[in-house]
Amino acid sequence: MAKRSSSSNEVLLGLLTIQPMSGYDLGQTIRESVGHFWNESYGQIYPNLKKLAAGGFVTARTERQKGKPDRQIYSITQKGRERLANWLAVPPQPEIPRNELLLKLFFGGQASLQVSMEHVQRMIETESAILRKIEQIEKEIDKNRQYPDVPYWSMAVRFGQLELEAHLRWAQETLTVLNKLAKKQQSRGTARKERRHGGK
Amino acid sequence: MAKRSSSSNEVLLGLLTIQPMSGYDLGQTIRESVGHFWNESYGQIYPNLKKLAAGGFVTARTERQKGKPDRQIYSITQKGRERLANWLAVPPQPEIPRNELLLKLFFGGQASLQVSMEHVQRMIETESAILRKIEQIEKEIDKNRQYPDVPYWSMAVRFGQLELEAHLRWAQETLTVLNKLAKKQQSRGTARKERRHGGK
DNA sequence: GGGTGCATGTAATGGGTTACATGATTCT
DNA sequence: AGAATCATGTAACCCATTACATGCACCC
C-alpha cells in the first residue's frame, strides 16, 4: 500500500514555518507562491489541518472577528518541524507526467492541422501569461529580502522561467513545422484537383 | 461533476489507430512511445478496454497461443475514431503541476544545504538518463519513417528534449548557487568560531 | 439587489496506483 | 532452481477535486 503518502501535509507545514496562518490563508499563499509547481484545494487543506492538529504537528488557536467568521490560526510545533525535516531529507519521487497537449499533438494525424495549430497557439498564450506572472512573483520576492529563505524561493522561480521559456521556444518551432505541413497538404490538394479536373 | 473525464480512454484509442493491439501491447507501447509525457497502469488499461468494447468504440478478437495465455486483440471502430477526433478537438486542460523536487527546494531553508544539493544532483542524473532515452526514441522514429504520423511524434520528442535541456541548465545553475550559499555559511561558521576562541 | 471576498467545513464522486491471483515458458 | 516475460484481470485503497452548505460584509 504505502503509496505516495503525498506531500499535501508537508506543504502546509512548510508554509507554516514562515508564519502562523489560517486554512484560508494557506490556500491563498499556496496559489501565490508555490502555485506554479504545487496546488492544493480547500477540500484537501481543511481536513489535513485537522489531522495535523490531531497528530500534534500543528496547534490551532481561534481568532474571533467582527462581521467575518472566526479564523482558525495554525502554528507549527517542534514535532511538526521534525516531520518536515524528515520529509525534506527523502529523495523526491520521480514525477508521473501527464501532458494532455502533447498527447493531442502526438495523435495530431487523426485531426486537422488547424486543430493542432490552435492547441499550440493557445498554449503560447497561457504559458506567456504564466511567465509574466512568475516574473511578477520574482519582483515580489525581491521586495521581501528580509526573509532568510529568499534564495530558495528564487531557485523555484528560476525553474519556472527556464522551463516556460523552453516551452515557448518549442511552441514557436512547432508552429513553423505545422505550417510547412499545411503548405505541403495544400499543394498536394491542388495537384490532385488539377489532375482530377485535367490541370490548368 | 463532469470533472476531467480524463484522457485514459483516448490514449488507447489513439494508439489503436496505428495498429490493432492487446492490452498488454498497449501497456508496452505507452511506455516506449508516449511514456515521457503520459502513463497508464494495467489496472487502468484492462478495465478501460472492456468499457470501450462495451460502448462499441473498439472490437475484441481472441487470439489463441500455444503455451502463453490467450490474447485479446482490440481494433478501433469507426465510432471509436469519431470519439477520438472529438476529443482531439477539445482544447487541452491546463495542467495542475506537482513538482516535489521544487517543493523540497522551496523549503530548503528548513534542511541542510547538503540535502538540497543531493536532490538536485540526483535530478541531474535521472533527467540525463531520460534525455538519453528520448534521443534513442528519436532515432527509432527516424527508422520507421513509413508511418504518416512521424512528424507529430517528432514534435512530442522535441518537446521532451527542449524541456529536459532547460531542466539540466537550471540544475547546474542551482548547484552553483547552493555551493555559494555553503561557502557563505562556512565562512560565517569559522568567523564565529574564531571570535569565540579569540581569533588568530 | 446581486456579485465577490472572507471563512470553514463535509459529502459525493471519480480517477488511478498497487497488490494480489494465476500459470506456463524461457532465460540465466 | 529461480527470476523474468507473457498475459489478463479484480479488489482495495487512497488521493483529490468538485459541489454543496452557510452566512456576513462590502461594493457597484
Q: pLDDT tens across B125-178, in order?
A: 999 999 999 998 999 898 888 899 999 999 999 999 999 999 999 999 999 999
Average pLDDT, chain B: 92
The protein residue nearest nucleotide D5, judged by CA to C1', is B68
Output the pLDDT for position B153. 97
End-to-end CA distance of chain B, in Å?
A: 71
- C-alpha triplet B141, A99, B135: angle, nearest 5°: 30
Average pLDDT, chain A: 92
Q: CB count, 10 Å around CB of B180? A: 11
**Mutation site for B-interface testing, chosen from A104, A130, A175 by largest number of B Cβ within 10 Å:** A104
How far is the C-alpha of A140 from the C-alpha of A137, rounded, in Å?
A: 5
A79 close to A56: Cβ distance less than 8 angstroms: yes
Q: CA(B47)–C1'(D10) in Å?
A: 9
- Going by pLDDT thresholds of 50, 70 and 90, the confidence category of residue A65 is confident
How far is the C-alpha of A176 from the C-alpha of A179, rounded, in Å?
A: 5
**Grid coordinates standing for B140?**
527509432
- Going by pLDDT thresholds of 50, 70 and 90, the confidence category of residue A2 is very low
The protein residue nearest nucleotide C14, judged by CA to C1', is B3
pTM, two decimals, is 0.91
Residue B199: pLDDT over 60: no
Residue B109 C-beta-side C-alpha neighbours within 13 Å: 15
Residue A72: pLDDT over 50: yes
Residue B82: pLDDT over 50: yes
Query: Residue A87: phi, psi to the nearest 5?
Result: -60, -40
Nucleotide of closest approach to A27 (CA, C1')? C7
Closest CA to A167 of A135, A139, A130, A138: A130
Q: What is the mean pLDDT of residues A3-28?
A: 92
Chain B environment of A98 (Cβ under 8 Å): 37-39, 95
Distance of alpha carbon A96 from its chain centroid, rounded? 14
Say if the Cβ atoms of B109 and A163 lie within 8 Å: no
Output the pLDDT for position A200. 43
Q: pLDDT tens across B149-162, in order?
A: 999 999 999 999 99
- Going by pLDDT thresholds of 50, 70 and 90, the confidence category of residue B194 is low
Output the pLDDT for position B200. 43
Q: pLDDT tens across B27-49, in order?
A: 999 999 999 999 999 999 999 99
What's the gap in Å between the CA of B151 and the closest CA on chain A?
Answer: 8
Q: What is the mean pLDDT of residues B94-123?
A: 95
Residue A173: pLDDT over 90: yes
Host H or E run for residue A52 = helix A42-54
Helices (H), A75-149: 78-89, 100-106, 113-143
